[in-house]
Structure 1
């Protein structure tokens, strides 16, 4: 008997160059009038906040700004925003949130919305809980082509007490609308372009091989790979290339749709603890893991991984499955080399420190639930072995 799949998507998406200028009519269509803008200091300095507030002011829309979100957000880093929202809700000052920035400000805004509306601590909302409460409307405006957070029902916040990157999931974290404007990515530096781009590619690959994959997510994942793989190097080496930037932004967006409706797998499960313990940016820790984890996983989903190679354009349509997968592994390794992805040691992590955390990282990865979506489900010992293999990798690279 066929199995149905529930799809969760934003209500509205404005897509394309100049989309940010449509914020006022977007708010009007949602019946929202008093936003709290959640962003970071870099967005203020780069005048991206001004690009957002100018059309709001022209439309006579009052707003406030919380610009103190941090990279790889922790619960303590968002509490000032939570308090600002609570006070504004009690006084009738706010009726929605606008998140502007990369994955960290958008993830922060999702968490601020839930904690500000429903109270408690972030650990109260982590998986396996399904957070389905109808929270404050959130409009997400991404400025990087990577996380796809504008179309996902997930947020990731670190527990300050345990250094655990908590995965929180449910419709309460899904933005009601998104403005996806590739113009906002034109000034993104090469290191961020590389890390967020590999993050998006990982989303697409993992969504396609996930045990929760479905016909809908498959189409989004394959389309995302077709867009990201031929354009990532161009966007990295030639950041002014508008066609490459547009393709990357759409690819990241579709990859977000794919994994939000199919879930990520082992790469992400093992990546979050590296970020939590050693402060490695999320996309970069994904990149460190992607070739090794893919090699581990291929035997359990060889045909699916071969499809990925073909969608990425590194294998021919009729090519033998084994050869296609060899080409996939070669491409992932070559991509890391060209985009100067460092090993953990090259990033600056001390070997003794890394090795002392192997078991707890594997346990936290397992607890997140993501490894259970992997086509080849690992034991704790196998994840420890994979972490060791990633440490021993000697892919050339430096942090740019």
Structure 2
């Protein structure tokens, strides 16, 4: 079996890393940027922390700040138009997964115009050229979109989330600066952090996992378990914020290359049909999906228990599995994730439509345990 591993050309880490941006632009010889971000990050000055670096260096740019929390096909098309109008030769993406996913869609279509309908990018798209170069600066510690070959766009017409997988979309440069995350609200810190934990756990147990991906994912689980409560409760604590910033990137390096599972398969329609924030959707499902998958991954669950510090000498394998599942559920409660779908406005009559999309989601086949639509319905119902 041949395993593939794709990473950014270069990445920078640490508080203040955004100051590397001008040097990166000069080194690559880029001329004009399209800054892709959202209005909230502009309003609260987070994007300005990056834009100030462009201004100080005299780098020319236009701004596209119409990114939606769950970006749509129309959103991406508007961004493509803005990019062409600007005459930009590279993109600076500032934000969470929404901004970076939008930037990936823009960058791919700008260099592969035959995919301009956007919906043809769903799944594994046969693009021929790399994206317009993207320099990605995450403002949340969760999606790891700055280092993945995946992006997610809502198809409004068909009311579904399209998962797009394309090695050509990976940002050329990732700049992971924890200072851009200090003002992230408590709830968003928690949900994006649990999204990162979901990435790490699903990436660790997915069918395609192997030694290299395992090495990254188990370290990410350990770090997220340690640093997420600090980041949530002490938002300006550099240790917690930087720990999470690095941990979510580590998780992304691996899951981008090996895939995910049914948790993400079930979370995507929750966002598409009910506008549930992606991190919340992943997190609310995670403890129950872990229990469903346990028979297919007992040995790895024991390692998760060790990474979370809840493994005890003399534990049986089943006891270690239970300890791992309980601890992830406990972490979710500690950081304030809802426990029931009804808290998110989802009701029993909504489940069949959710399950139909979930069983057909591109992430679901990677699940370590074979799953049917009836299994998915049962999982949804168990957390109503």
Deviation at 1:237, TM superposition (A): 1.5
In structure 1, what is the Cα distance between the partners aligned to 2:327 and 2:4?
Answer: 34
In structure 2, what is the Cα distance between the partners aligned to 1:335 and 1:169?
Answer: 30
Deviations 1:339-393 (A, max 9, x none): 22222212233x2xxx3332332232222221211110201111111111121xx
Deviations 1:243-265 (A, max 9, x none): 11111111011011111011111
- 1:314 corresponding residue in structure 2: 310
In structure 2, what is the Cα distance between the partners aligned to 1:268 and 1:197?
Answer: 15
Asked if the contact 1:83–1:116 (Cα under 8 Å) also holds between the matched residues in 2, the reply is no
Deviation at 1:318, TM superposition (A): 6.5
Unaligned runs of 5+ in 1: 392-400
Asked if the contact 2:112–2:127 (Cα under 8 Å) also holds between the matched residues in 1, the reply is no
- Please tell me whether residue 99 in structure 1 is matched to residue 93 in structure 2: yes
In structure 2, what is the Cα distance between the partners aligned to 1:133 and 1:305?
Answer: 40
Deviation at 1:321, TM superposition (A): 1.8
Unaligned runs of 5+ in 2: none
- 2:35 corresponding residue in structure 1: 37
Asked if the contact 2:8–2:170 (Cα under 8 Å) also holds between the matched residues in 1, the reply is yes
Deviation at 1:77, TM superposition (A): 2.3
Aligned residues: 381
In structure 1, what is the Cα distance between the partners aligned to 2:119 and 2:94?
Answer: 24
> CA 1:45–1:317 in 2, change beyond 3 Å: closer, same or farther?
farther
In structure 2, what is the Cα distance between the partners aligned to 1:124 and 1:357?
Answer: 27
TM-score normalized by structure 2? 0.95
Matches within 5 A, 1:1-400: 3-88=1-86, 93-119=87-113, 120-131=116-127, 133-316=129-312, 319-342=315-338, 343-349=340-346, 351=347, 355-391=348-384
Asked if the contact 1:130–1:169 (Cα under 8 Å) also holds between the matched residues in 2, the reply is no
Asked if the contact 1:106–1:149 (Cα under 8 Å) also holds between the matched residues in 2, the reply is yes
Deviations 1:299-353 (A, max 9, x none): 011111221121122224774321111111111222222222222212233x2xx
After TM superposition, the structure 1 stretch with the greater mean CA deviation from structure 2, 154-163 or 115-124, is 115-124
Asked if the contact 1:33–1:61 (Cα under 8 Å) also holds between the matched residues in 2, the reply is yes
The CA RMSD measured in Å over matched residues stands at 1.5
Deviation at 1:43, TM superposition (A): 1.4
